Amino acid sequence: MDPDPIGNDTAAGVWVVILAYGVFFGVVLLFSYLLTAITLMFFFRKVGVAPGIAWVPIFNTWTWLRVGGQPGPIALLALTPAAIVVRIFLALAMYRIDLAFRKDSAYVVLGIFFPWLWCILLAQKSETYEPGLLAHYGYPPPMAGYGSAGDGAVVRQQPAT
């Protein structure tokens, strides 16, 4: 009777599969981080935020939340099991940012599932960032240093109605 019913060959095969999955998901995670950081850099440049912030993992989310008028410290919850809260507040921030770009709520859905594509579309040269529009919808403008009108962002006045 064999004392090791699994066998050494089977155990080694299991470890090879686990290692392969680990490497695969590590590469996917790295690619996802790089893609999001690059596209977020273009988006930050568009709204008047220093583009280098996009490469700092928690601070980029903090800044992204602030551009959308949400509390930045929420980004720290990404380090806890309550990380879903960050995604919810980020969706709310995307909604406000979309309003400043004259986009509808479909862009929020795009931003939730494909944030890198959301950043690419809003960072195009043809898009105009107008943080003054937020007041038209009843929201305060972004704070100074976070894509506010005083940071060189393009602002068009809403016609009087």
Question: Is residue 145 a part of any domain in this protein?
Answer: yes
Please, which pLDDT band fits residue 7 given cuts at 50, 70 and 90?
low
pLDDT tens-digit profile of 18-64? 999 999 999 999 998 999 999 999 999 999 899 999 999 999 999 99
Q: What is the DSSP letter of 142?
A: P
Domain that holds residue 30: 8-151
Residue 145 has pLDDT above 90, yes or no: no
Question: Is residue 49 a part of any domain in this protein?
Answer: yes
The rounded percent of the chain whose pLDDT value lies above 70 is 83
Give the containing element (helix H, strand E) for 85.
Answer: helix 84-100
Contact 112/89 with Cβ under 8 angstroms? no
Q: How many structural domains does the chain have?
A: 1
Helices in 101-160 by DSSP H: which ranges? 106-113, 115-122, 133-136
Question: Is residue 136 a part of any domain in this protein?
Answer: yes
Predicted confidence at residue 18, as pLDDT, reads: 92
pTM: 0.78
Amino acid at 98: D
Question: Is residue 156 a part of any domain in this protein?
Answer: no
